[in-house]
Structure 1
Amino acid sequence: MTRTPQNISEELLDAARVAGAEAADAIVIDGSSVSVEVRGGALEHAERSEATDLGLRVFLGKQQAIVSSSDSRAETLMAMAERAVAMAREAPEDPFTGLAAPDQLISDWDVDALELFDPTPEPSAEALMQDALAAEAAALDVSGVSQVSDAAAAYGTHRVHLAATNGFSGGYLRSSRSTSCVAISGEGTGMERDYDGDSRTFQSDLRNPTEIGRTAGERAIQIVGARKPQTGSFPVVFDERISSSLIGHLLAASNGAAIARGASWLKESLGQQVLPSHLSLIEDPARPRISGSRPFDAEGLATRRRAIIEDGVLTGWTLDLSSARKLGMSSTGNAARGVSGPPSPSNWNLSLTQGDKTRTDLMRDMGTGLLITSMIGSTINPNTGDYSRGASGFWVENGEITHPVNECTIAGNLRDMLMRVIPANDARPYLSRVVPSLLIEGMTLAGN
């Protein structure tokens, strides 16, 4: 009889009990994937993988230990349990660790409503190759593109099951489908590259590979002849492709683990305004067909829609059980984990309030400044919010793009930057993080 992730997780719990654990939880992830890369109109690389990964966390009072393996044989499960219990006996006590109480657990959920899995047949390697070839050909058809460094297509599924001695047992199945292309323009030292790609839960939602390749090619030729911009204080537009990184810094600062450590520039900001009053940041883990959706978190608690920021005001931290206990609060159902580590707070799907202007409108409003389409590196002071990142994109004069720019650095303070943010209306609604282009006045720009 074929053993499912649920079977294996229950066997792990049984082994933990036999080994002497007072409590335990087990997570099992199995999946398969196939990916294809092409170059020069021919197959470059094809790979298929199948794996089952399992993790066991055991408790002896307030001592805990975690072990993981990719071997699900019965003898291995018993050896994992024995090793975990032996490790727990030597571990220091953590007063904030432990499973959820039974009355905290989710009791009912509807996985089907989330549409996490595409029931259509798995695409063949040949079909994936044809998509990659179509993307490559479309990029090469763009005048000025000299080569395509990578065109790829992939499909994967994975099943997750979580079980614990507090009575929780639940899982779900996901699918993913993606196509991507990286195009290169110019020759020699003047070469530039850019990309486009798409990843969806359902094959039918995926953008056409020809469109993806053409967009990658067009982006690559637009940045030929890039040069450093002038140094000074200028307004900056973060293009929708990279604007979610700004919100990511805000989320990192409102993460319960950072707050509990005291390492956050937002640690004294609960209930205070951190964005303009007309903006809200909504977390919604129940959006159908979106990668960040899930019915429960990694501790068996129900996920829920919540306003992390409402009308500009920070309403709460992102918490798992441990960070919530440290702060004297309740978990927000945001625990995430893999097989080799304990749960930690993480965010699901997010949406920032959109504005009523296009990106073109924002550039017109800023007059002279920088449109950023790509960023590299990062220097963020978690305690002060001081921000510095490498950037490239396009210089804007009198509201119009004049030339591409690169090798520059933008700097500011996140608290001040986010209070001045002006959103456009161009966010892609099918992403897990729905964030439009953002205009921020008065950033420090270091170029020539």
Structure 2
Amino acid sequence: MSMPNFASTVLERARAAGAEADLIVDAKESLSLKARDGALEEQAVSATRILGLRVIKDQQVGIAYSEATDADALNQLVDQALLNARYSKPEPNEQIQANRQSLHTDDAQLCPDSQFSAEQRIELALYLERTLASKPQIRNVPYNGVMEVISQHQVFSTQGLSASSRQRMNHLYAYALAADGDLTAMAGKGQATRLGEQLNADQVIANAYHEATTLLQGKPVASGHYDVIFDIESLADVLGAFSIMLSGKAAQDGINPWRNRIGKSVAVTGFQLSDQPLATDGFGYALFDSEGTACQATPLVVDGVLQTLLHNSVTARQLNAGNTGHAQRGPKSPLSVGAHQLHVAPGQHTQRDLTSGEYLELTALQGTHSGANAISGDFSFGASGYLCRDGERIQPVRGITVAGNFYEMLNRISAIGDTAKWNWQRSIKMPSLRFADIAISG
């Protein structure tokens, strides 16, 4: 794929001013639908394209962005970035990478053609809300939606980089409010697929209905210490709340609690955590990062021992580490670091091993970010789910608080399931993990 004319114009102008530069171009087309009381409540269609320029001149970095590509806008984009650089402090570790390469994803794999029409999407949205709302004990379905997003991410540089990735994603979700007298409970489920034709509303309806109506009769358990299994969605939320532990940028800033733990144990033996950006069945797939560095699988924790943090070129240079290809930068934002799609490897424990004896299965958490201190690891979340025994749910549970220290909890994993699954957004893949001796307040 050749470089667009506007990209060439921008980069040539930056180089003529004595700067090196890279240009991010993010484009998105989306259709979002929401239903209410059996009618279409919202239909939003959008198409955006934003150019984000980073220039480096005399070790000073400036960024600017534009949504226009006419000649005046492009000239102003370069001039603004150069002006911003002039007033920034020197950043000797930040450089435009010598990535003279061409990286392009396969549209047939990540952005396949779809025959699912707008009319079919509307009918799907109406069916989702109408069918779930008509079920016994369901008062309404306040949050629901059907969405398709086609996104394109491109990176070009004065060093000769040309990288482009295009992806199609479809989402469907529904949250139902159930009621029985004065008792109410809300629960929801979602689904993500490449093609709209693959969405299954009945599956989401059945799961959301069962969860919402079952939790109506939930009650607190006695305060104490329990073994806990977070469902895949809740566990993904918890890991997200403490993602700072993997960030080379946070280590550079001195706030990553694992910054001095490379080569040391951070979890139980058998715990394997990696970033797998090239797994095409996930929606965090990335062939390259925001600096154009080619991505590859990155082992992070092997048998409980921390191997590396996630790095871009700047954090790698400053911390004397290898660049792992995890640069993140939006058109309007400076360079940072982030995971693509994390994987926890399956373990050796069968479902029977995981679910023997008594434990709590937590299926919903409240306050996973406000209730978490990512630096210390301390957390306190509202939770609901089920009290279970030998794999059977024996009582729905609501109105409890789960608390502890996440970093200590990683050393209390008593079982790692032998089957890994994606969360519904397909951003993280992991097996069930059983944590021992977790504090629960009823």
State if a TM-score over 0.5 links the two structures: yes
Percentage identity across aligned positions? 26
SS of equivalent residue, structure 1 residue 424: strand
Q: Where does residue 444 of structure 1 map in the other structure?
A: 439
CA distance in 2, matches of 1:73, 1:409: 55
**Which amino acid letter does the alignment assign opposite residue 139 of structure 1?**
L
1:157-306 superposed matches below 5 A: 157-187=150-180, 189-204=182-197, 206-249=198-241, 251-306=243-298
State the match for 2:112 in structure 1: 118
> Mean Cα displacement is larger for which, 135-144 or 148-157?
135-144
- Secondary structure class of the residue paired with 1:221: helix
Q: 419-428 vs 123-132, which deviates more? A: 419-428
Gaps of 5+ in 2: none
Equivalent position of 2:366 in the other structure: 376
User: How far is 1:418 from its partner?
Assistant: 0.5
Say whether the 8 Å CA contact 1:319–1:333 is kept in structure 2. Answer: yes
Query: Shift in Å at residue 114 of structure 1?
Result: 8.5
Query: What is the CA-CA distance between 1:17 and the residue it aligns to?
Result: 3.3
Alignment match, 2:319: 327
TM-score, reference length from structure 1: 0.90
How far apart are 1:317 and its partner, in Å?
A: 0.9
Residue 420 of structure 2: aligned partner:
427
- Structure 2 CA distance for aligned equivalents of residues 441 and 339 of structure 1: 44
Deviation at 1:55, TM superposition (A): 0.8
Which secondary structure does the structure 2 equivalent of 1:268 belong to? Answer: coil
Q: Can you list the C-alpha shifts for 1:343-376, whole angstroms capped at 9, x where unaligned?
A: 21111122212245566753433x1x42211112
1:85/1:198 Cα in 2 relative to 1: closer, same or farther (>3 Å)? same
RMSD: 2.4
Deviation by residue 1:101-157 (Cα, 9 ceiling, x = unmatched): x2xx27354622892212224x33211111112322442454332322233211121
Letter of the 1:424 partner, please give it: G
Does the 8 Å contact 1:141/1:214 carry over to 2? no
1:229-285: CA deviations, max 9, x gaps?
322222211112211234335542121011112212212211112222222112221
Q: Distance in 1 between matches of 2:130 and 2:352?
A: 30
Note closer, same or farther for the CA distance 1:426–1:194 as it changes in structure 2 (3 Å cut): farther
Q: Does the 8 A contact of 2:242 with 2:374 survive in 1? A: no
- Please say if residues 178 and 184 of structure 2, whose CA atoms lie closer than 8 Å, have aligned partners that are also in contact: yes
1:73 counterpart = 2:70: yes
Instruction: Please report how far the alpha carbon of residue 38 of structure 1 lies from its aligned counterpart in structure 2 after TM superposition.
Output: 1.2
Q: CA 1:42 to 1:406, structure 2 compared with 1: closer, same or farther past 3 Å?
A: same
Corresponding residue number in structure 1 for 2:44: 47
Match for 1:68: what amino acid?
Y
1:238 and 1:371 in contact (8 A); partners too: yes
How big is the shift at 1:425?
4.2
1:16 to 14, 17, 30: 14
Alignment deviations for residues 153-204 of structure 1 (CA, whole Å, 9 cap, x no partner): 1112122211111211111211111111111111564221111111122335
CA distance in 2, matches of 1:153, 1:233: 40
Contact conserved, 2:103 with 2:163, CA < 8 A, in 1? no
Which amino acid in the other structure matches residue 53 of structure 1? I
Give 5+ residue unaligned stretches, structure 1: none
Matched with 2:82 is 85
1:73/1:420 CA distance change after superposition, 3 Å: same
CA contact (8 A) 1:53 1:70 kept: yes
